Structure 1
Amino acid sequence: MPKRVADVMSHRVISCHPQTPIRRCARRMRENDVSALIVLDDDGYLAGILSQTDLVTLRAYRPEWEEMVAEHAMIRNVLTVTPDTPLEEACDLMARLRVHRLVVVEEDENGKHPIGVLSMTDVVREMAEGDESANA
């Protein structure tokens, strides 16, 4: 049976609010050993994503970065998949669009609720844990 995103994804959603100060976002990434934060609105729906790359870019080009908040640097057009998305389809999306992660969501009439993340690290881990007997 083909694997689905749910079989490989991380169920941890490390998040912040759009009004979270940038320094606090950086601290949260470091403390949780993640390279991106999922930005959630007041109702817990997906508002954006903020990556280490976004923070470094902000630091490089915006002298006032210390006064800024997550919504100033976050990406609003977030690539998402559902838990039932075939893993091959998710990998194709990541490879074609050259993104490091996809946010896994459940959608309702009010928006997208993040339930996990599928990262390149998750995919490589799954590849490494494949059929060990093939190498015996």
Structure 2
Amino acid sequence: MREPTVSSLMTREVISADVETPFKDLVELLEEHAISAVPVLDGGYPVGVVSEADLLPKEEFRGGTEDAPGLFAGRDAKHRFEQAAGLTAGDLMTSPVKSVSPGTAASAAARELAETGVRRLFVLDDDGALVGVLSRRDLLKVFVQDDDELRRTIRDEIFGRTLWVDPDTIDVEVTDGVVALQGRLERQSEIDIADHLVRALPGVVDLRNRLQCAWNDTIHPRQTEIFG
């Protein structure tokens, strides 16, 4: 039940460019491979990224022939104007590279993508060499799971091996990744553990937890006296 890591989800064959790759070749790379960005390598190590957004200033400012942004223009506009005159990947790239290690948990990588607003993270090994790329789409692979396989995992791993509960006493249904649980456990704490483990299981879209308990061990005896 271990959470998937970046290594298990990433794309290993990465289309890349060199710092000296010309502007037109960069455009052709993106078009040919239907991708929106490429890492820029220097001596085999990533030093930046060229995306579609880094190439568009060439058209926005017509290669630098349009007027430069005014004195009070923002930093982004001035940066785009400088990119408009760029000829190679080294001129156009955005640095540093947003990266992640192969052993990073999928949830941590998803959080990094959300917080930084980037579309992809480049995967670097301990030496800083490029070994893959992880996109938003790659992370969504965790939800492409067979319902029957999810059901077996919940029954056998969560209830059978983790909670030591006879799986046949719990009704587990999975439809399009949505899990429904029904049955009776000894303690409320066991229900809480099951709830947490099922929700954290890769591929689970949602949980309908209708489990009941014989004893609510999460309420302190003194609370029972006061509110009972």
- Under a length normalisation based on structure 2, what TM-score does the superposition of the two structures give? 0.53
Residue in 2 that maps onto 1:116: 132
Summarize the alignment of residues 48-63 of structure 1 with structure 2, pairs less than 5 Å apart. Answer: 48-61=48-61, 63=63
- Where structure 2 has 5 or more consecutive residues not aligned to the other structure, the ranges are 65-83, 149-173, 177-228
Amino acid in structure 2 at the alignment position of 1:29: L
Asked if 1:72 corresponds to 2:91, the answer is yes
Match of 2:157 in 1: none
Number of aligned residue pairs: give it: 131
Q: Structure 1 residues 67 and 57, CA, compared in 2 at 3 Å: closer, same or farther?
A: closer
**Identity across matched positions, percent:** 30
Q: How many angstroms does 1:10 deviate by?
A: 0.6
Structure 1 residue 135, shift from structure 2 partner: 2.0
- SS of equivalent residue, structure 1 residue 20: coil
- Are residue 16 (structure 1) and residue 13 (structure 2) matched? no
Structure with greater Cα Rg:
2
CA distance in 1, matches of 2:126, 2:142: 28
CA offset digits 1:89-135 (Å, max 9, x no partner): 01001001111000001132xxx2111100012122x1441343432
What TM-score comes out, normalization by structure 1 length?
Answer: 0.86
Quick one: which of 80, 97, 110 aligns to 1:91? 110
CA distance in 2, matches of 1:78, 1:33: 21
How far did residue 57 of structure 1 move? 3.2
Instruction: Give RMSD over aligned pairs.
Output: 1.8
The CA deviation at 1:12 is 1.4
Aligned residues of 1:82 and 1:105 also touching (Cα < 8 A):
yes
Alpha-carbon separation, structure 2, partners of 1:62 and 1:44: 32
- Is there any run of 5+ residues in structure 1 with no aligned partner, and where? none
Residues in 2 aligned to 1:66 and 1:11: alpha-carbon distance in whole angstroms: 33
One-letter amino acid of the structure 2 residue matched with residue 94 of structure 1: L
